C-alpha cells in the first residue's frame, strides 16, 4: 500500500514540498504519495485528525501552523522544544511525534553544500523569532567562536541568548543585542527575519560583513533580496538564500519517515532561483 504524506499550511499553493519529496521518493525507490493540504485558520487539529484517519503517515508543517503543531504533538523532540515550533510530524497509532529540522537543514546546507566551515567563526543572526530559535543549537554544535543575535526588540534577543547558553552549557559565547549595538565584522551573517518577504532590509551596517564572509538569507526564491544586495555592495562574494536549507530539512524529514536519506543536489539545482 502506498504511504501518504502531506504538507499543511495556509496559503499552501506556493509550497515546493510535493516536488521535493516525490523527487526524493523516485531516487530512493520509496512508494509514497505526497500532497498539499490547505489548513483552515483555526482548524489545524481537525484537519490533521482527518488526514490521520484516512491513513496519513506524516506531515510537514509550514506557516502559520508550526505553533499549532507544537501543541498538537504528543512527543516533542528536543529540536522542537528548543524552537518552540514543529515543522514535521510522524503518526504512529495515538502518538504524534514532532521534530523541527529547520536548524539542522540550515547547518547542513552551509557546511556541506556551501562548504563553509562554522568552527571558530563569528556568527551574526538577524532576528529573534522561530527560525533563529530553531537554528541556534545546530549552529552552536559546530563550535563557532561567538554567536550574536540581533533584534529590534532587544529583550527577545537577550532571552534567546540566555536560552541557548543554558542548553549548551556556555561553551560558546552567545549575546543578544539591538541592531544599533552590533559592532565588529562577522564571518557569517544570517538573515532570519521576514524582511525579505516584503523586500525590506533589517537595519544592518555594511561593516558587519567581514572579508570572506558568507551572507545567507533564510528566505528562498526571491533572488537578490535587499539583505543580499547590501552584502554584495559590501564586497561579499559568498551569497546564498534558503533554498538549500529547504531541501536539507526536507531530506531530514524524509529520512525520519522512511529510514533512507536522499541526496539533495539534483533537487537543489532544480528549485534554485539565480541571485540576480
Please check if 100 is assigned to a binding site.
no
Q: Is 154 one of the annotated binding-site residues?
A: yes
Residue-wise pLDDT for 46-84, tens only, equals 999 999 999 999 999 998 999 999 999 999 999 999 889
pLDDT tens-digit profile, the chain (276 residues)? 899 999 999 999 999 999 999 999 999 999 999 999 999 999 999 999 999 999 999 999 998 999 999 999 999 999 999 889 999 999 999 999 999 999 999 999 999 999 999 999 999 999 998 889 999 999 999 999 999 999 999 999 999 999 998 887 778 999 999 999 999 999 999 999 988 878 888 899 999 999 999 999 999 988 999 999 999 999 999 999 999 999 999 999 999 999 999 999 999 999 998 888
DSSP code, position 180 = G
In the chain, how many H helices and how many E strands?
10, 12
Q: Residues with catalytic annotation?
A: 66
Q: 4 is written with which cell numbers?
A: 501518504
Residue 259 to residues 98, 153, 165, 254, 273, Cα–Cα distance (Å): 16, 41, 32, 8, 30
What is the DSSP-derived secondary structure letter of residue 206?
Answer: G
Query: Is residue 164 part of an annotated ligand binding site?
Result: no
- CATH 3.40.50.720 residue ranges in the chain? 103-243
Name the E strands within 171-262. 174-177, 186-191, 209-217, 238-241
Q: Is 74 annotated as a binding residue?
A: no
List every span in the chain annotated with CATH 3.40.50.10860: 3-100
Q: Is 129 exposed, middle or buried (0-12, 13-18, 19+ CB in 10 A)?
A: middle
The annotation status of 196 as a binding-site residue, yes or no, is: no
Four-way CATH pick for 103-243: 3.40.50.2000, 1.10.565.10, 3.40.50.720, 3.40.640.10? 3.40.50.720
Residue pair 58/36 in contact (Cβ under 8 Å)? The answer is no
242 is in an annotated binding site: yes
Would the annotation count 158 as a binding residue? no
Report, at the CATH architecture level, how domain 3-100 is classified.
Answer: 3-Layer(aba) Sandwich (3.40)
Amino acid at each position: 500500500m502506498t504511504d501518504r504524506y502531506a504538507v499543511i499550511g495556509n496559503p499552501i499553493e506556493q509550497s515546493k514540498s510535493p516536488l521535493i519529496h516525490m523527487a526524493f521518493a523516485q531516487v530512493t525507490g520509496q512508494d509514497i504519495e505526497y500532497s498539499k493540504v490547505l489548513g483552515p485558520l483555526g482548524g489545524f487539529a481537525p484537519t490533521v485528525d482527518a488526514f490521520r484517519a484516512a491513513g496519513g503517515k506524516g506531515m510537514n508543517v509550514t506557516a502559520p501552523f508550526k505553533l499549532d503543531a507544537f501543541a498538537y504533538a504528543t512527543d516533542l523532540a528536543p529540536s522542537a522544544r528548543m524552537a518552540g515550533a514543529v515543522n514535521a510530524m510522524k503518526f504512529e497509532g495515538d502518538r504524534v511525534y514532532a521534530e523541527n529540522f529547520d536548524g539542522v537543514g540550515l547547518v547542513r546546507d552551509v557546511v556541506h553544500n556551501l562548504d563553509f566551515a562554522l568552527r571558530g567563526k563569528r556568527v551574526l543572526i538577524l532576528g529573534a523569532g522561530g527560525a533563529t530559535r530553531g537554528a541556534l543549537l545546530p549552529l552552536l554544535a559546530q563550535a563557532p567562536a561567538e554567536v550574536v543575535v540581533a533584534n529590534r526588540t532587544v529583550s527577545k534577543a537577550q532571552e534567546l541568548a540566555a536560552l541557548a547558553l543554558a542548553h549548551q552549557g556556555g561553551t560558546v559565547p552567545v549575546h543578544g543585542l539591538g541592531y544599533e549595538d552590533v559592532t565588529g565584522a562577522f564571518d557569517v551573517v544570517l538573515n532570519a527575519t521576514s524582511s525579505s518577504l516584503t523586500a525590506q532590509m533589517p537595519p544592518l551596517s555594511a561593516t558587519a560583513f567581514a572579508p570572506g564572509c558568507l551572507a545567507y538569507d533564510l528566505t528562498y526564491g526571491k533572488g537578490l533580496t535587499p539583505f543580499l544586495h547590501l552584502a554584495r555592495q559590501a564586497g561579499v562574494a559568498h551569497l546564498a538564500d534558503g533554498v538549500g536549507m529547504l531541501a536539507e530539512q526536507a531530506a531530514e524529514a524524509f529520512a525520519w519517515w522512511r529510514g533512507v536519506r536522499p541526496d539533495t543536489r539534483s533537487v537543489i539545482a532544480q528549485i534554485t532561483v539565480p541571485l540576480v
